[in-house]
Structure 1
Amino acid sequence: MKVEIWSDVMCPFCYIGKRKFENALATFPGRERVDVEWKSFQLNPDMKTEPGKSINDYLAEVKGWAPDYARQVNDHVTNLAAEVGLEYNMDQAVVANSFDAHRFVQFAKTKGKGDEAEEQLFRAYFTDGKNTADHDVLVALGTAIGLDEVELKSVLSGNEFGAAVRQDVYEAQQVGARGVPFFVLDRKYAVSGAQSSETFFAALEKSFGEWEKENPQPLQSLAEGAACTPDGICN
């Protein structure tokens, strides 16, 4: 069964939601038959990469908040992240457009490394204070998970996978995603936001139960012996 997750690297609840979903999936009996696919979603496509600007100042500008209030909001999400074992250093976060980061993930998906790429990006942005729009940073993250350095540099230097990013954004609109994280299970059920692991587990149970009825697991042979086939051959 496929679970699609729309997210953006700059969304603090996306990383938290990732962990909560992973915790639920880790204890789910049918986890070996669940395929997770990460999908692109840009919260602010027009964002300019500004390494010298603090995330608090950025939020104050775009949302009209006072800098102190922006800091309080980030402190709050930092505490929520800590509850699931994540370390957020929001004062180090780099204001960066996420389009190339999404292209990086799209490329990684073709190599079976989508989940690893998402994890690297989230940690780079929220924990390590790295510029996730910088191609050198993305190449370093990619090689750390086994992606080919030359191939990745070639992808980032051009426009490859840009169409895949835009397709995901379009699909998000079609499935009703108005924000992220947004989880779609078997294209039947949706879970919006960084819900509790219990909520994710219940959603997995419901969607997987229905999916399994339509996709029964083949019987596994425990032993084979002499038998006759419908065509009359016995051996």
Structure 2
Amino acid sequence: MKVEIWSDIVCPFCYIGKRRFEHALEKFPHADQVEVVWRSFELTPDFRPIPGESIHESLAKKKGVSAAEGRKMNDYMATMAKEVGLDYDFEHAVPTNTFLGHQLIHLAAKHGKQAEAKERLMAAYYLQGENLNEIDTLAKLATEIGLDAEEAGTALANGTYAEAVRYDEYQAQQINVRGVPFFVFEDKYAVSGAQPTELFAEVLDKVWDESQPAKPAPVMLADGPACGPDGCEV
């Protein structure tokens, strides 16, 4: 079973949705036969970080509210994140344009480490206050999941995987993705948003059952006296 997930690195619901989906997958009896593919999606592709600006101020500007309201929104998200074991640290989060980060995830996919890269970058942003705008920081994080720092730095500087990111975003447009996280199961069913773990579990079961070939009825080799709902043959 293939599950494609469009999400952004700095989307708070995306990290929460990731955890909820993973919790469902942990209990799914066929988890070893599920291929998860992370697709790029930039919530604010034209975002330009301002040095020294806090995440509260950045969010407030985007939403057109006060910095206090921005902080209140982030506090709400932090409370929700705790429910899935994530300790969001908005006080140290650095507002980020995620184009480079998505490129790194594509590089990691080339080496079979896409899932590790996705988790490492989201943790770096939400839990550890890393500056994901910097190539040197991204290269350092790449080494932590077993990638080569020089290869990562060169690929990011040259935009080697820029078109791969753009293609993911083009695909999102084609299937009318309006918000993330957005989960597509076997190119057949879609789930939008950070849904409860129970819903993800139900979808996994449903898609799995439908993907299994129907067993043909047994061929009758002999037919004799038997009992049925209306009684027994005599």
With normalisation by structure 2, the TM-score equals: 0.89
Alignment of 1:61 with 2:61, yes or no, is: yes
Alignment of 1:184 with 2:184, yes or no, is: yes
1:167-182 residue pairs with structure 2 within 5 A?
167-182=167-182
Q: What is residue 7 of structure 1 aligned with on the other side?
A: 7
Distance 1:61 1:13 in 2: 19
Deviation, 1:151, is 1.2
Alignment of 1:40 with 2:40, yes or no, is: yes
C-alpha RMSD over aligned residues: 1.2
Larger Rg: 2
- For structure 1, the 5+ residue unaligned runs are 217-235
Q: Deviations over 1:119-166 (max 9, x none)?
A: 111111011111112111111111000011221121011010100000
Contact 1:50 1:96 in 2 (8 A): no
1:1-235 residue pairs with structure 2 within 5 A?
1-213=1-213
Which AA in structure 1 matches 2:133? A
Q: What is the percentage of aligned positions where both structures have the same residue?
A: 47
Contact 1:24 1:201 in 2 (8 A): yes
Contact 1:7 1:181 in 2 (8 A): yes
Deviation, 1:51, is 3.8
* Number of residue-to-residue matches in the alignment: 215
Contact 1:50 1:94 in 2 (8 A): no
Q: Deviations over 1:94-138 (max 9, x none)?
A: 111100000000110111111100111111101111111211111
Distance 2:40 2:192 in 1: 15
Which AA in structure 2 matches 1:200? F
Residues 37 and 112 (structure 1 numbering): CA distance in 2 closer, same or farther, change over 3 Å?
A: same
Distance 1:49 1:106 in 2: 23
Aligned-partner SS, 1:37: strand
Q: Deviations over 1:35-57 (max 9, x none)?
A: 00000000000001234111111
- For structure 2, the 5+ residue unaligned runs are 216-234
